[in-house]
Chain A
């Protein structure tokens, strides 16, 4: 539990020359944080690319038809560029990235065009679930922080622990049975409209709920923990002794300090949400990257898998960077 709360980037700016104006220093720190997140993303992409390439079997094998000769296979391997050395393939792929070129799939289509339809749908689903989980966690976390040790606090703690233990597909089936099959309130499967997006808004509710509930549980614990840390600080004690109203203490004295931890938790949630989306999309037949990914891995389609990992990795990196900037701002203000 202590993981996301560990402080890694507090040193920023401490070494900068004092002559520079604060705005420039803040900009410099932001640039350095951005560079760090980019570098970590590159390391991940290299590791994924190497792992997929070094493991046995390749795209030419996986997409081959029955009775294809060894010569045909070699020809397809050459056509897909699989006979070239690994570093060369990786370099080609990386240099195409800034131009928005993610390479070509094992079936010969550009990766970007295969992903351009489903990925925004997944981002919409994940974004809705993320927003719901932040709002839910802030509400529940604040509510229990206002009553430390009380019955509500303990109940929320148990409920949060319960919620984040539940795998998304178990929760999906439960929600499906209760909200759709028994009561008929919401549609059980997602129908895709002519534009490739879900046909109506109510089809996104069940999958978003199934994704959001475990994350509400996880984030409630983080928010509650961060607020507890704040409540132990002297300025909060002073505010209480000054007789300020409880809600004002919460919003003006505790939440600002808890913001960095909450921001990191949000970014961590995004990763879990995107992973869970693959499963939930399969169950609800939602037109996202889940189906694309299942097919891509069965075909050993390295560029497509790497494309999906790059896209999700970039999305998570962006959120982590935002969390870094929030922390930098809060800690900077404290300095």
Chain B
């Protein structure tokens, strides 16, 4: 179905995503100005000194842009690691113990009725002093049911294979079956799931920040920058467009990378 060999094509998508994350994490080192002191007039257009102009208080947009990615990425990474880890454990368990699987299925059916944004709002505002922690906690809790479904669906065919049956009959313990027999076969699925969960984490954390849950001014945060500078979009569009592009590029590149490493569907289509 593809022209380039599969691993090379995957690399083509994975490398830009990793580079972008790296640039965002090391960004603060290259910031030319402090993030909390005015260097231009409010919403000043780009000039030699401030390459992307000033924000609503005249602070350097470029410096704030370079600082604003690391916390977002760190929170999203933490969410992705937690969700993928817990979902792996529960998902494999569900595949090996179908009764638990049905229960998780119903939890996911309930969770689907609560839009993630509403869930985040509920938890984050009931826990106002927590900063980013409640948002991360909410994103983790709300992400797990769906992720468990994905892992369980991928693990079910493996759990039904003869060698698992043989290992079970041989008296292997549950944790051994999970860690040594099922898990190694799920590597590609889990890697792709991790990428997708990271994108979802970026989505949820940035949406929360945009709704002023989590990072508080004068912190530099991409989503918060968009919210703060939206009023001056006519005066200096870059104050809004630059953080928008940053979030967009991050989400899209990681999503494409996750897509590229997702195992192919095992169907063979009839050519119409």
Q: Which residues of A contact B (CB under 8 A)?
A: 1-3, 6, 8, 40-41, 43-44, 47-48, 51-52, 55-57, 145-146, 148-149, 154, 157-158, 161-162, 164-171, 173-174, 176-177, 181, 225, 228-229, 231-232, 236-237, 240, 246, 249-250, 268, 271-272, 274-276, 278-279, 282-283, 293-294, 297-298, 300, 305, 308-309, 312-313, 316-317, 320
Q: Which residues of chain B from 90 to 143 have a CB within 8 Å of any chain A CB? A: 105-106, 108-110, 112-118, 121-123, 125-128
Q: Mark B199-210, 1 if CB is under 8 A from A, else 0.
A: 100110011001
Residues of A within 8 A of B234 (CB): 181
Are B233 and A181 in contact, CB atoms less than 8 angstroms apart? Answer: yes
Are A166 and B153 in contact, CB atoms less than 8 angstroms apart? Answer: no
A176 to B229, CA, bound (A): 14
Are A3 and B108 in contact, CB atoms less than 8 angstroms apart? Answer: yes
Given A167-B207, A169-B223, A225-B265 contact (CB < 8 Å): yes
Number of A-B contacts (CB under 8 A): 179
Chain A CB within 8 A of B169 CB? no
Are B105 and A2 in contact, CB atoms less than 8 angstroms apart? Answer: no
A53 — nearest CB in chain B belongs to which residue?
Answer: B126
Are B110 and A240 in contact, CB atoms less than 8 angstroms apart? Answer: no
A171 to B247, CA, bound (A): 10
Are B106 and A40 in contact, CB atoms less than 8 angstroms apart? Answer: yes
Residues of B within 8 A of A161 (CB): 252, 255-256, 259
Closest 7 CB pairs of A and B: A275-B115, A55-B126, A165-B255, A275-B117, A231-B269, A2-B153, A232-B267
Chain A CB within 8 A of B254 CB? yes
Given A2-B153, A170-B248, A278-B211, A148-B109 contact (CB < 8 Å): no
Residues of B within 8 A of A300 (CB): 125-126
Main secondary structure of the interface of B (DSSP, over half): helix
A146 to B268, CA, bound (A): 14
A246 to B271, CA, bound (A): 10
Are B114 and A313 in contact, CB atoms less than 8 angstroms apart? Answer: yes
Are B105 and A8 in contact, CB atoms less than 8 angstroms apart? Answer: yes
Residues of A within 8 A of B244 (CB): 170, 173-174
Are A148 and B271 in contact, CB atoms less than 8 angstroms apart? Answer: yes
Are B150 and A3 in contact, CB atoms less than 8 angstroms apart? Answer: yes
Are A279 and B108 in contact, CB atoms less than 8 angstroms apart? Answer: no
A-B contact pairs, 29 of them (CB 8 A): A3-B146, A3-B150, A44-B114, A47-B110, A48-B114, A52-B122, A55-B123, A56-B126, A145-B272, A148-B271, A161-B255, A162-B252, A162-B255, A165-B252, A165-B255, A167-B207, A169-B210, A170-B244, A170-B251, A174-B248, A181-B234, A228-B265, A228-B267, A228-B269, A231-B267, A232-B267, A275-B116, A305-B122, A309-B118
Q: Measured between C-beta atoms, what is the minimum distance from B129 to chain A in Å?
A: 9
User: Given A3-B108, A3-B149, A169-B226, list of 5 further CB < 8 A pairs?
Assistant: A167-B206, A174-B248, A240-B272, A279-B211, A297-B121
Q: Which residues of chain B from 223 to 251 have a CB within 8 Å of any chain A CB? A: 223, 226, 230, 233-234, 237, 240-241, 244, 247-248, 251
Q: Which residues of chain B from 137 to 182 have a CB within 8 Å of any chain A CB? A: 146, 149-150, 153-154
Q: Mark B255-266, 1 if CB is under 8 A from A, else 0.
A: 110010010010
Are B149 and A2 in contact, CB atoms less than 8 angstroms apart? Answer: yes
A180 — nearest CB in chain B belongs to which residue?
Answer: B233
A233 — nearest CB in chain B belongs to which residue?
Answer: B270
Given A165-B255, A181-B234, A268-B112, A55-B269 contact (CB < 8 Å): no
Chain A CB within 8 A of B29 CB? no
Identify which of A162, A165, A169 gathers the most chain B CB atoms within 10 Å of its CB: A165
Residues of A within 8 A of B268 (CB): 232
Q: Measured between C-beta atoms, what is the minimum distance from B68 to chain A in Å?
A: 14
Q: Which of the residues B105, B115, B123 comes within 8 Å of A272, measured between beta carbons? A: B115
Residues of B within 8 A of A164 (CB): 255
Q: Measured between C-beta atoms, what is the minimum distance from A243 to chain B in Å?
A: 11
Are B269 and A146 in contact, CB atoms less than 8 angstroms apart? Answer: no
Q: Measured between C-beta atoms, what is the minimum distance from A69 to chain B in Å?
A: 23
Are A56 and B122 in contact, CB atoms less than 8 angstroms apart? Answer: no
A239 to B110, CA, bound (A): 40
Are A2 and B150 in contact, CB atoms less than 8 angstroms apart? Answer: yes
Are B153 and A43 in contact, CB atoms less than 8 angstroms apart? Answer: no
A279 to B208, CA, bound (A): 9
B129 — nearest CB in chain A belongs to which residue?
Answer: A56
Are A170 and B247 in contact, CB atoms less than 8 angstroms apart? Answer: yes
Are B1 and A149 in contact, CB atoms less than 8 angstroms apart? Answer: yes
Residues of A within 8 A of B262 (CB): 1
Residues of A within 8 A of B121 (CB): 278, 293-294, 297, 305
Are B210 and A279 in contact, CB atoms less than 8 angstroms apart? Answer: yes
Residues of B within 8 A of A309 (CB): 114, 118, 122
Residues of A within 8 A of B199 (CB): 165
Given A40-B106, A51-B126, A298-B125, A246-B272 contact (CB < 8 Å): yes
Residues of B within 8 A of A316 (CB): 112-113, 115
Q: Measured between C-beta atoms, what is the minimum distance from A167 to chain B in Å?
A: 5
A171 to B265, CA, bound (A): 30
Residues of A within 8 A of B269 (CB): 148, 228, 231-232
Are B113 and A177 in contact, CB atoms less than 8 angstroms apart? Answer: no
Q: Which of the residues A44, A52, A279, A308 comes within 8 Å of B113, measured between beta carbons? A: A44
Residues of B within 8 A of A231 (CB): 267, 269-270, 272
